[in-house]
Amino acid sequence: MASFINVVALRTIHGRSWWGAERSRCEECRQVLRLPDLIPLFSYLWLGGRCRYCGNPFSAGYFMVEVAGACIGAAIAWKWGLSWASCAGFVLGYGLLLNSLTDIYSGYVYDFYAWIPGATVFLMRFAGGTEALLDGLAGAALGFGFIAAVILVSKGGMGWGDAGLTGGMGAALGWKLAIVGIYFGLMIGGLTALVLLLSKRVTRKQALPLVPFLALGGMVALLAGPVVLGYFGIEAGWPWVQ
Ligand SMILES: [Zn+2]
């Protein structure tokens, strides 16, 4: 999944289509890569991170994205097993990964990709009944409204793609877990920004991509959110039942 999502992200930011018959090539020698060169994780390790044909090093980013994808899948399956929660979790987790990658690579969130994960999980909510659907609507309104308010107050800094993605995260998580996700996302992002500023790795004028932090917050909510809510005696709602 992560290997595929990385291709989608890279081709999208370069304005190429990711569907159809275009083969993956070495960026240096343009040699078409064959199946043994394209096995996620293993090919990179086996070939020492280099092109088999010209010896040019491949970006370690490919490997890191594949590791991240394996961790997302394993963590969700471990936490939720065979359930609607896992289905929703996979869609949201990999959707967040895709949007994080386009944001990291190009500083841009694509509206279509931002809306797809939330819309897909919202459709799943029909299986949970009226209460689950209302929970999704409330989560979408909360996520979208929160970022929209930040955009209107700060006049920049965040974009409507961020609002769409956070709305989608809310639709998938439901409003209670959405609060957990946004809270942890902003905390992780804020602390990271503080460390980068204090260590002078960035200046106040520089923009940091926001989506990866929101995505981390969303993953915290997916994996630990129901436990966090449990401390306050609150149930997370469908499909997040233990
Ligand atoms: Zn090559």
Interval 164-189: pLDDT, tens? 999 999 999 999 999 999 999 999 99
**42 CA → ligand 1 middle, Å:** 18
In this model, does residue 163 exceed pLDDT 80? Answer: yes
The per-residue pLDDT for 55 is 92
**46 CA → ligand 1 middle, Å:** 15
234: number of Cβ within 10 Å: 14
**44 CA → ligand 1 middle, Å:** 13
In this model, does residue 15 exceed pLDDT 70? Answer: yes
pLDDT band at 155, cuts 50/70/90? confident
**131 CA → ligand 1 middle, Å:** 54
| β-pair partners for 32 | 25
Convert the pLDDT of each residue in 79-100 to its tens digit. Answer: 999 999 999 999 999 999 999 9
Convert the pLDDT of each residue in 188-212 to its tens digit. Answer: 999 999 999 999 888 877 778 889 9
The per-residue pLDDT for 241 is 83
Q: Could you tell me the two tokens for 61?
A: 């980013």
The mean per-residue pLDDT over the stretch 53-62 comes to 91
| β-pair partners for 50 | 57
What is the crossing angle of helices 60-80 and 84-106, to 10°?
160
The per-residue pLDDT for 208 is 81
Convert the pLDDT of each residue in 216-237 to its tens digit. Answer: 999 999 999 999 999 999 999 9
Q: Could you tell me the two tokens for 3?
A: 């290997």
The per-residue pLDDT for 242 is 59
**32 CA → ligand 1 middle, Å:** 9
CB 171 within 8 A of CB 117: no
**102 CA → ligand 1 middle, Å:** 24
**38 CA → ligand 1 middle, Å:** 13
Spell out the domain ranges in the chain: 85-231
CB 210 within 8 A of CB 189: yes
Convert the pLDDT of each residue in 102-154 to its tens digit. Answer: 999 998 899 999 999 999 999 999 999 999 999 999 999 999 999 999 989 98
**51 CA → ligand 1 middle, Å:** 5
CB under 8 Å to 84, separation ≥6 — which residues?
Answer: 124, 127, 128, 238, 239
In this model, does residue 53 exceed pLDDT 80? Answer: yes
Mean pLDDT score across all residues of the chain: 92
**d(Cα 223, Cα 76) in Å, to the nearest integer?**
7
The per-residue pLDDT for 204 is 79
Task: Report helix, strand or coil for 25.
Answer: strand
**28 CA → ligand 1 middle, Å:** 5
CB 168 within 8 A of CB 119: yes
**d(Cα 41, Cα 28) in Å, to the nearest integer?**
20
